[in-house]
Structure 1
């Protein structure tokens, strides 16, 4: 084995003096009266995000035991902070509250000019109106809308149309009507579930 081989030199435990890196000097512990090295970082606190104290192990433990980010805040201020944290402390508005339009009567798309063809905002008490009519003036919620889509019906479908379509789909996908073939059983189950949802909602 060649002692001067670059491969052998790489696996040495103790590198040559010319390649030995000196250990970086550490800042001293910032705890008053402590002369140890500051090997650990500790956050300075609220309104000083990204700033840290440098403490030794013993003092960083002592600091962490007494650290309280919300120190000095009232209960209401803490609750407000926690609520803002849900949105990453970014401003939020109610749907349609930040919109603007020119003076005059609201356009046909809604109070602020927003089009809502599926009536999403109506489910949340919004002022916008759906472009499509709904049966008997009822609100077509997400569950009923999906049920109508499963059955291939429009949102304006009435009770008679829903029942007729249900019978048609059951006959089409039932194993007895397909010579015992069960390949469309999943489709049959989804149709039955959709019909039951519409029935519970009073659509048929």
Structure 2
């Protein structure tokens, strides 16, 4: 290829960006240094957002000795570290507002899932106040088969698990053939008692 070929005119040299940056960069702020200040270094506390401009060698030297907490007492440093856990935002104790007053109880105005759990009862006081703890438990609505089973055992709708077990034992002793002298006339009654007790046990009554 000839040196005076037209193709040499189309060859472009990649620009030296680092050289351009050095010419445009401000001078290093280290005393006695004439190199370009390509690297930033923080000025210090109470001057956040302000930076020195140093060359590479002097920014390394500056960072070795940089201390953000210089001049602060140990108690002030500890307080700063504690406040940094919350992003230096104000905080309050649980159950109180920023004014120091107790937070209002909005339990009576809740709806949705909160109201649902409130109707079921709140033994740990998660959704209500003192009036919720004093409220009587809501009676469980019985299904037709559950109501019939309690009726078979001769118990009321508000019977407890202990009442059901005690009544079941009494009826089994009364109608079992081994306990009533071999009388097989009450086998049907015994079968109904067994089925009623089994249904109530599966439903969680006892």
TM range (shorter): 0.3 to 0.5
What TM-score does the superposition give when structure 2 sets the normalisation length? Answer: 0.45
What TM-score does the superposition give when structure 1 sets the normalisation length? Answer: 0.45
